[in-house]
Structure 1
Amino acid sequence: LDQDMADAAIAIGIAGVVAAGVLGIFGVISDAMPASEVLGKLAIQITPGAVGALFGRAQLGASNQEDAGREEVEESYAGELFVMVAGALFLSLNIAPTEEVVLIAWRMSLWQQLGLLAASLIVMHALVYQLEFIGGHGPRTEDGFWSLFLRFTVTGYVLVALVSLYVLWTIGRLDGTGAVDMAGLVIVLSFPGAVGAAAARIIV
């Protein structure tokens, strides 16, 4: 646990330094801005940056005996769901501020949105359990398809949708938005969020 906390602190520190450097280079932050505004902009970038750093370490840095021992420990159900939330947050925070999310949601009909929702579920399940990626879980002989689909894929997608809703609310995309339009935005953002959640389960 102590090592995990240290890894998290290092990842946050690295993300903070990188975010400050990049935002400073592009003039997004400056010493003339109020401290609260600078901290707010840094916070939005630090979260996905830290998650990305941890994912990179998990994928590329698990070469010593300590990391190998961690991989042998069976992940708990709650742990796997948490990993999916982190993966969804990583991609959602990077994509939500773009105008494309609003434009795509506005152009899609109800049936297209439902189709995208179904596609998100299919992609989530296929990436983790059907396609032979290194780190993927593969089909579990002890668990049936519907058990895996309901316990992990559907539950995971609900968490992804909640993450998308939170991110959209945080950046002000939901201000003055009706329930139908809000659902469309969540469905659109949840597609990359679902990919991020599935990728996180493969990597970590």
Structure 2
Amino acid sequence: MRGPFGIAYSPLNTMVESEETHQPLWLKELRDLARGFCGALVVALPLLYTQEMWERVRFLPTWMLLLALLLTYFANMGYILFEGYKPEPERQRVWLDALTTMGIGVLSSGITLALIGRYDFSMPFYLTAKLILLETIPTSFGASLAINQLGVRTRGNDRAKQPADDFSPDRRKMLATLLGALLFSFNIAPTEEPFLITISLSGWHVLAIVLFSLFVSYLMVFFADFVEKEQKQGFLGPVWAETGVSYLASLAISAILLWIFGYLDGATPVHLAVAHIITLGYATTLGGSAGRLIL
């Protein structure tokens, strides 16, 4: 059957195959949503308990929050291209599933924040809404990656073909780097510790962080043999090219996160901004390297 915008759908009472059994479509969809909900909490619970996230909404401009949510939607599309919360790729609709993960993020964030007393009826509605929407960013990431995080696989425990498998090697590596850097460092970026570390560093410390970040990236992806490397193809085939370009991409994610959370603006001294980006870049580089291995 076809619904609005030409989207194909089946009645919820349709019997569908699942592993070795058959079950109603509504039950399968409900389990998919439950998987996304659990993944959201597994990934984002630390940030739901982080004071800087609660306080940041008081100073975060609404337009910047909306921009961050838009970027989050596109990031979720990227995560779903690699591993979505639906085990069967043929049931995935990337743009619709990304929107669904945002809804799961709102629900899981709203419930958890209410349970831990972060908002009540005495709090202005706009602050409550901003708090829930800000926390929706990491929770929606968790929902998008629920299969990867919770180990769900299709029958036979084999990895099913994903849309990202059709990408060129360069495109796949860059997307995995950006998504891994974003996911891994989002738990750190809102906190004050990277800034406190930055203002205590000398120039030699900053240079050492750059060199060590590059070294660890090489170590993880090329030397430690976590996974079998594909044959070198494309511009990012050589070791130096993949390591260097991926590091620059990770620094870009670091800069964007620091800007969104108010640590960088036009008044920030250049030397302090560069050092702060490099300090958080240590985390984004680790995440980007892990992304190229896992995604």
- 1:146-185 mapped onto 2 (5 Å cutoff): 147-150=238-241, 152-175=242-265, 176-185=267-276
Per-residue Cα deviation, 1:152-185 (whole angstroms, up to 9, x for no partner): 2211111111111111111111244200011111
- 1:17-28 mapped onto 2 (5 Å cutoff): 17-28=107-118
Q: Could you say what the CA RMSD is over the residues aligned between the two structures, in angstroms?
A: 3.0
User: What secondary structure, in the 3-state scheme, does the structure 2 residue paired with 1:79 have?
Assistant: helix
Tell me the amino acid that sits aligned with residue 203 of structure 2: L
- Matching residue within 268, 275, 281 for 1:190: 281
Tell me the amino acid that sits aligned with residue 187 of structure 1: I
Tell me the amino acid that sits aligned with residue 182 of structure 2: L
Q: 1:26 to 1:7 in 2, by over 3 A?
A: same
* Aligned-partner Cα distance in 1 for 2:294–2:145: 7
* Aligned-partner Cα distance in 2 for 1:72–1:197: 16
* Aligned-partner Cα distance in 2 for 1:19–1:183: 33
Contact 1:48-1:89 at 8 Å conserved across structures: no
Q: Select the structure of larger CA radius of gyration.
A: 2
* Aligned-partner Cα distance in 2 for 1:158–1:141: 20
> How many residues end up aligned between the 2 structures?
201
User: What secondary structure, in the 3-state scheme, does the structure 1 residue paired with 2:256 have?
Assistant: helix
* Aligned-partner Cα distance in 2 for 1:103–1:156: 26
* Aligned-partner Cα distance in 1 for 2:177–2:219: 15
Per-residue Cα deviation, 1:134-163 (whole angstroms, up to 9, x for no partner): xx343746789982331x221111111111
- Matching residue within 151, 160, 184 for 1:68: 160
1:125 aligns to what?
Answer: 218
* Structure 2 unmatched ranges of 5 or more: 1-80, 82-91
Tell me the amino acid that sits aligned with residue 186 of structure 1: I
Q: CA deviation at 1:62?
A: 3.2
User: What secondary structure, in the 3-state scheme, does the structure 2 residue paired with 1:95 have?
Assistant: coil
Per-residue Cα deviation, 1:93-114 (whole angstroms, up to 9, x for no partner): 2211212111111111111111
More divergent stretch after superposition (188-197 vs 60-69): 60-69
- 1:45-84 mapped onto 2 (5 Å cutoff): 45-58=135-148, 60-64=151-155, 68-70=160-162, 73-76=165-168, 77-84=170-177
- Matching residue within 52, 69, 90 for 2:183: 90
Q: 1:91 to 1:42 in 2, by over 3 A?
A: farther
Q: 1:58 to 1:109 in 2, by over 3 A?
A: same
Tell me the amino acid that sits aligned with residue 244 of structure 2: V
User: What secondary structure, in the 3-state scheme, does the structure 2 residue paired with 1:197 have?
Assistant: helix
User: What secondary structure, in the 3-state scheme, does the structure 2 residue paired with 1:68 have?
Assistant: coil
Tell me the amino acid that sits aligned with residue 251 of structure 2: A
User: What secondary structure, in the 3-state scheme, does the structure 1 residue paired with 2:187 have?
Assistant: helix
* Aligned-partner Cα distance in 2 for 1:181–1:126: 28
Normalised by the length of structure 2, the TM-score is 0.59
1:4 aligns to what?
Answer: 94
Contact 1:131-1:138 at 8 Å conserved across structures: no
Q: CA deviation at 1:49?
A: 2.3
Q: Which has the higher contact order (CA 8 A, sep 6+)?
A: 1
More divergent stretch after superposition (76-85 vs 23-32): 23-32
Contact 2:214-2:243 at 8 Å conserved across structures: yes
Tell me the amino acid that sits aligned with residue 132 of structure 1: D
* Aligned-partner Cα distance in 2 for 1:21–1:147: 47
Tell me the amino acid that sits aligned with residue 70 of structure 1: Q
* Aligned-partner Cα distance in 2 for 1:201–1:94: 19
Q: 1:3 to 1:100 in 2, by over 3 A?
A: same
Identity of aligned residues (%): 25
